Amino acid sequence: MHVHAEDILSTHHIQATAMRLLVMSAIIDNDGPVSLNELETALETVDKSTISRALNLFSAKGALREINDGNGSRRYCICKDAEGHSSGSHVHFTCIKCHKTVCIESVQVPSIELPEGYKISEQSYLIKGICPDCE
């Protein structure tokens, strides 16, 4: 089932302006987590500040997950299950050759037990290696 930009924005109580729909659609259409620079290239008629504001809003409202690919670059992904619904934390894989980052939604982030007094507010799990295309 394909996820629609309007549905994601509505679910997260985000007003669906033309630019927000355009940015969200570009994220949905991307094959895996996307960076600001990749969105700028894909949406060449939209200025960087508009894309950046949309990404910040989407992240703040929980419509996107922001991940660090381990190379100092922020990437954004919509995490969804087989029905297109938002899924729990999962693993991200970054190829050390081509630098592509992908969601591996079939592998959940392992549960971590912290010492007393520590509380997890967010967790991510990034694996680096070589992807099948580069092997």
Indicate whether 53 pLDDT > 90: yes
Give the alpha-carbon dihedral of 41, 45, 46, 48, to 10 degrees.
Answer: 50
CB 125 within 8 A of CB 109: yes
For 24-39, what is the mean pLDDT?
89
How far is 104 from 102, CA to CA, in rounded Å? 6
| 29 occurs within a structural domain | yes
Which residue do the tokens 């508009």 mark? 50
The reported pTM is 0.74
| 87 occurs within a structural domain | yes
Q: What is the mean pLDDT of the chain?
A: 84
Q: Domain limits at 30?
A: 5-129
CB 75 within 8 A of CB 67: yes
| 134 occurs within a structural domain | no
What pLDDT is stored for residue 80 in this prediction?
56
| 33 occurs within a structural domain | yes
Domain at 108, CATH number: 1.10.10.10
How far is 69 from 84, CA to CA, in rounded Å? 23
User: pLDDT tens-digit profile of 82-103?
Assistant: 344 445 567 888 888 988 888 8
What pLDDT is stored for residue 2 in this prediction?
61
| 99 occurs within a structural domain | yes
What is the distance between the terminal CA atoms of the chain, rounded to a whole angstrom? 31
The residue ranking higher by pLDDT, 70 or 118, is 118
| 135 occurs within a structural domain | no
The residue ranking higher by pLDDT, 129 or 92, is 129
